[in-house]
Amino acid sequence: MRRLRTLGVLLTLVAAAAAVWPLAAQDQGQQTEQVIVIGGDGGSPPHYAVPDFIAASPEAAEVARTITQVLFDDLSFEREFDMIPRDTYATIPAARSADEIAFARWRELGVDGLFFGTAQKSGQNITVQVRLFNVRSRQQVYSKEY
């Protein structure tokens, strides 16, 4: 549980940074900076959703549920974001891959930033992959494997 809690804290920091996320890019030896913004309408806090992480196997189901809840709770605790209540998106079909995300449906709910994650368990090893998407642009702004 302690490792999952630590992972939740790390993901919370990522979400906070993604509200205004600078990305360094190499351009013929010169470094340029791009800024990707995930923000709410009219200067309101960004609206985030954390649908259930996908379990890669039945053994990873509990891990996926736990990390989803930890991430949602940590983001809610920070009060930097407007968290979309999890019961409001029960009608949106669960995406089994990032290509299946129903961005238009998420946008209808007013979601600005959407987490998509997977969890795997192999023996004592747990692997969690997480992506953060800007729902308006449908652009992935963060991806990490833990």
Collect all residues with Cβ–Cβ distance below 8 Å to 115 and sequence separation of at least 6: 11, 15, 48, 49, 50, 51, 71, 130, 131, 132, 133
Looking at residue 21, what is its pLDDT?
A: 39
Among 134, 133, 128, 132, smallest CA distance to 6 is for: 128
Range of the domain at 20: 2-145
d(CA 16, CA 20) in angstroms, rounded, equals 8
Count: domains in the chain: 1
Mean pLDDT of all residues belonging to the chain? 80
Mean pLDDT for the stretch of residues 86-105 = 93
Among 44, 62, 38, smallest CA distance to 113 is for: 38
Residue 78 belongs to domain with CATH number: 3.40.50.10070
Q: Which residues of 45-65 are buried (b: 16+ CB within 10 A; e: fewer)?
A: ebbbbbbbbbbbeeebbebbe
Predicted confidence (pLDDT) at residue 113 exceeds the cutoff of 90: yes
d(CA 101, CA 95) in angstroms, rounded, equals 5
User: Residue 56 — pLDDT band, cuts 50, 70, 90?
Assistant: very high
Collect all residues with Cβ–Cβ distance below 8 Å to 139 and sequence separation of at least 6: 36, 133
pLDDT digits (tens, 9 = 90+) for 12-44: 544 544 443 333 333 445 555 545 555 555 667
